[in-house]
Amino acid sequence: MKLLITGGTGFVGRHLVPRLVERSHELVMLTRDPLSARKGLSYPIAFFPWPGYEADPPREALDGIDGVIHLAGEPLVASRWNAGVKQRILDSRVLGTRSLMRAIKSQSQPAPKFVISASAVGYYGSRGETVLTEESSPGTDFLAQVCRQWEGAVIGNLPEGSRPVVIRTGMVLGEGGGALARLRPIYRAGLGGPLGNGRQWMSWIHVSDLVSLILHALETPSLLGAVNAVAPNPVQNREFNRTLGRVLHRPAWLPVPAPVLRLTLGEMASVLLASQRVHPKKALGSGFQFRFPQLGDALADLLHPQ
Ligand X SMILES: NC(=O)c1ccc[n+]([C@@H]2O[C@H](COP(=O)([O-])OP(=O)(O)OC[C@H]3O[C@@H](n4cnc5c(N)ncnc54)[C@H](OP(=O)(O)O)[C@@H]3O)[C@@H](O)[C@H]2O)c1
Binding stretches for ligand X (CB under 6 A): 7, 9-13, 31-33, 37, 52, 71-75, 88, 92, 96, 118, 120, 169, 171-172, 177-178
The gap between the terminal CA atoms of the chain, to the nearest Å, is 33
Q: Least distance from C-beta 110 to ligand X, angstroms? A: 27
Nearer to ligand X, 82 or 253 (CB): 82
41-68 as b/e: b if 16+ CB within 10 A:
beeebebbebebbeeebeeebbeebbbb
Nearer to ligand X, 167 or 248 (CB): 167
DSSP single-letter state for residue 42: -
Residue with nearest beta carbon to ligand X = 10
Give CA–CA dist 65/224, Å, rounded. Answer: 19
Nearer to ligand X, 77 or 263 (CB): 77
Nearer to ligand X, 117 or 236 (CB): 117
Nearer to ligand X, 148 or 160 (CB): 148
**Residue 88 three-state SS:** helix
- Find the helix packing angle between 83-107 and 142-155, rounded to 10°: 10
Cβ contacts of residue 297 below 8 Å, gap of 6+?
Answer: none
Closest CA to 233 of 282, 294, 288, 173: 294
Closest CA to 235 of 247, 249, 224: 247
Contact 45, 27 (CB under 8 A): yes
113-124 as b/e: b if 16+ CB within 10 A:
ebbbbbbbbbbb
Nearer to ligand X, 103 or 171 (CB): 171
Exposed / middle / buried, residue 31 (Cβ in 10 Å: 0-12, 13-18, 19+): buried
Nearer to ligand X, 44 or 306 (CB): 44
Give CA–CA dist 293/133, Å, rounded. Answer: 17
Nearer to ligand X, 97 or 108 (CB): 97
